[in-house]
Structure 1
Amino acid sequence: MSQRRGKLAHDVHVFLLALLAGLPGSLITLVLLWTGGSSPKVSWTLSVLVMGVYLGAAFAVRERVTRPLQTVANLLAALREGDYSVRGRGARRGEDPLGEVFLETNALSETLREQRLGALEAGALLTQVMEEIDVSVLTFDAEGTLKLVNRAGERLLGLPRGHLMNQNAVALGLTDLLEGPVPRRLTRTFAVEGGPYELRRGTFRQGGRPHQLVVLADLRLALREEEREAWRKMVRVLSHEINNSLTPIHSISESLRDSLLQVPRAADWEEDAKVGLGIVARRSEALGRFMSAYARLARLPPPKLAPVEVGPWVQRVAALETRLPVEVRPGPTLSVSADGDQLEQLLINLVRNAVEAARERQGRVWISWTVPSPETVEVWVEDEGPGVADTANLFVPFFTTKPEGSGIGLALSRQIAEAHGGSLRLENRTEGPGCRARLRLPLNGAPTRR
């Protein structure tokens, strides 16, 4: 029997206890046999029988106790090895403790089997997703050894997976992927032409050891799609505006030509020619203004940054509007680093739109500003006009709902805001009718409050 640290095994203990339990009865039986006057032959026969029963009962007790324990040990060993198909027989609820043990062991096996199946399915799904996405995914262990790479990563590095796995990042020339801040834009070259790339990195543990997950997304496709969409919008707008001018010009030109070729000419042909040529001139001028406005939008110069006090800037722009009083609701005293001329043009556009909207409803217009965070200031231009019905096209160049509008005011304003590292958003007010323009700009420093 196996021993551990000089102690008897559990089955030996059970066997000795069984012998000890039957020893008094067996001794008494043997004493009575040999002192009862029986013949030696009978005494020896009965003695052998008693000892056989005595030892057999001890071995039976030992087997009865240790065999179920061995069965449970085998079940647990199978679970440890990942075999969840084995089951213990005799599992039942009730007053049978051994049946309860088998029942719980079988339930544990079923639970582990379901969990393993779910993990395998999730792992297979994750592997399939990683293989199909166009983003390169690589994982490195604590020593910088490549442990996993997906199909996009193979294409990016230009080597098959068998040559990449278990290679060090230094040997692969990928140490810059494991260092530096993230997320960041990466402009280095790989085996395939592409880039720029967006680099993201995270940590996880596998097998109790730390690993790094590196994700490289090629921004070229996204940038090209945005570029194509911008071109489509530009061509659509240009085609619309040019056709609006060329169609009447073509129609009037045809009419004037027919009038000149007519024999004899109509008595009022000179008057018709003057009117027609006037229309052609006006449409040509309108087309010229449109192209000039487009060129202005495309040639916005980089801002010349200097400190601009928010309060005086807002007061100056509000004073320029004479059609409707513009209320200024003072906020904290602070400054921004910006191009003063461009900011004035931006705010003039917002105030002009707000005043035109408010006059439709005889409403008010006011400007306020606040500091939502220590790094930014928000300037609000609010009106009590009819609000905005469609916010999707507000910043599309040359889109306008006004009969005399150019459609570049808001587009130019947002371009100025973004050139300063800020943003511009228009939304309908929730407190009442009207619209709110929210201009967000970065601050020079912490504001000095009044």
Structure 2
Amino acid sequence: MNKFNLNILLRLLVLTATIAVGIVCWIGKYRLGAIALLPLIGLQIYSLYYFINRTNRKLTLFLEAIRYEDFSIRFSADNNLGKSFSALNMQFNEVLEAFRQTRAEREANLKYIDTIIQHVSVGVLSFDVEGKIELINPAAFRLLGIYRLRYLSELKSTFPDLPNLLNELPAGSKILYPTPNGQQLSITATTVRLQGRLVKLISIQNIHGELQKKELEAWQNLTKILRHEIMNSVTPIVSLIGTMREIVELDLVPAVPPDTEAVQDLQEALQTIENRSKGIMNFVNAYRDYTTLPKPVFQMLNLNELLTSVSNLLHSDMKTLGIQYQLHVDPLSIDIHGDQAQLQMVLINLIKNAMDALEQTPSPKISVRGYFGPMQQVVIEIKDNGPGIEEEAIEKIFIPFFTTKKKGSGIGLSLSQQIIQMHGGQLKVDSPPAQGTTFYVLLNN
């Protein structure tokens, strides 16, 4: 006999004995004693009922623990009542432990997914049918240029057409959205149903760098082809002209009076053709660097020292031109990872362009600043107070061969852009009408 059955038997025996004593007292005219035993009999009956229903209470407690996910409860108090109670407690504890492990794994997976979403460079945001934002990661904030977003409609202040575009974008579709600051955002939409609610998930990528890279590769390939074809055509012409000049000087001139007008015109024509042909060859060779730029040799560089060395190279020329120059780096400890010679080439080109733009400007000024931008990106800012760049030209200045100067090859800015892209950065320009021009070199620290 186990302890549970023994406990019930003893309680029944005590209850029976108490009732018997009460009956004897009632019969023996000790009715007050019999009445006094009634509370004791009731207490014993309640104790017996409570003891018998402990399994139901345990089951209720077990189900409540599952419902409210309270898996810290352990069942072991009545293990001494018998094997059946011990086995039941063990099963309850094992089930709760299984639920606890499942919840821990689920929370770990959710934390892992959340960590990935927070650290990926792809912007992610989700919203319900009412436009309430349910999820947004730092990359989305950075790409959209905002720091807080609760409802999709709040984007109208920065991107007037974007909220309606995101709402109406069908699931599985992709669009290219140009932002006012020059970014090209690739936006993809999908929909999921969570507990009966329809939620739209949006992914955002800035593919401006990739587009620039592809555009650069296309220009490089075109330049290589043009250079190859031009050199193949011009080189034999130059060689042939040299041969013709020898024929004229050795065979024709001795046979004809030297002051003959036709001979002089022929010599001048050959000389002109030879000069122009060599000029074309030199012009084409000038673009060799654009298509064969060596890979950067990276090293740690102090930004202040780099900008100071460039400033020293151009200080004399700016002083001669009466240009007020200012250099400021904050903090002075900013370090960058790059190729010193190539970055110097870019900075010299940008500052010289600013100097050229100030030829007709009274009180010319150039300021160069180095500082940390958003997301700890290093920013080098070259600003002048010149007339600015015409609106129709500003979108073309990075195209090879395009130039706004009377004397220029149109290779400087495109070459500078290529170098910065090889450093994993971006070269941007801002030139409001009649407010000067500012170039931004953006480098990842």
TM-score range, shorter chain: 0.3 to 0.5
What is the TM-score normalised by the length of structure 2? Answer: 0.44
Using structure 1 for the length normalisation, give the TM-score: 0.44
